[in-house]
Amino acid sequence: MQVRNDTQTGLSAEIKIVPLWAWALAGIAFIAAQFFFNVVVARHSGGPPAWARPLLGLVAGLGGVCFLLLIGYINRDAKRRGMSPTLWTIMALVIPNALGIILYFLLRQPRSSVCPQCGNAVQTGFNFCPRCNYKLSPSCQQCQRVVGVNDIYCPYCGTPLHDQAAPASSPSTKLPG
């Protein structure tokens, strides 16, 4: 079965993880850019011509919005990938020319999932939660290799996987009829 890359459908889901503070900062930055180019720059003689000021404000504003939304995205995305959100947010902010952001997208780990027992972020591919030892994916008791959910015998060593798995359902009571 071919798993389709969800780059298109995933984009709206990715935007949803951008935190509220990043949207708020982006809005402030956009308004500030308009104010700077249309009010502050306009007061100084020798600045850009009047027709260019709204354009410059728009370009700078949108640039700031993209930058801040990316910072917010990295802050959330790093967390769910088991990377340090503080470190990567600072790197994305501090390294000039958006190189920190580019670096993040080059170096980021595969998306981690959350341990259902303790809520710790665990990387995909882990068999056990590193914090609470919760078994994240079914594995063979004999050789500890990951096996399929529907496997009855371990494909590596042949050990029966569900030998202790007694039917959990309560004994069915006979219905009068």
Contact residues toward Zn ion (CB under 5 A) are 115, 117-118, 120, 129, 131-132, 134, 140, 142-143, 154, 156-157, 159
- Three-state DSSP at 137 gives coil
Q: Please report how close the Cβ of residue 173 comes to Zn ion at its closest, in angstroms.
A: 37
Q: Please report how close the Cβ of residue 161 comes to Zn ion at its closest, in angstroms.
A: 8
Task: Report which residue type is found at 97.
Answer: N
- Smaller CB separation from Zn ion, 36 or 134: 134
- Smaller CB separation from Zn ion, 38 or 120: 120
- Smaller CB separation from Zn ion, 68 or 154: 154
Q: Please report how close the Cβ of residue 110 comes to Zn ion at its closest, in angstroms.
A: 18
Q: Please report how close the Cβ of residue 88 comes to Zn ion at its closest, in angstroms.
A: 23
Instruction: Give the Cα separation of 124 and 119 in Å (integer).
Output: 14
- Smaller CB separation from Zn ion, 10 or 127: 127
Smallest CA-to-CA distance from 77 within 14, 7, 157, 24 is with: 14
Instruction: Give the Cα separation of 30 and 115 in Å (integer).
Output: 39
Q: Within the chain, where are the H helices?
A: 9-16, 20-35, 41-43, 52-80, 85-94, 99-107
Instruction: Give the Cα separation of 153 and 176 in Å (integer).
Output: 39
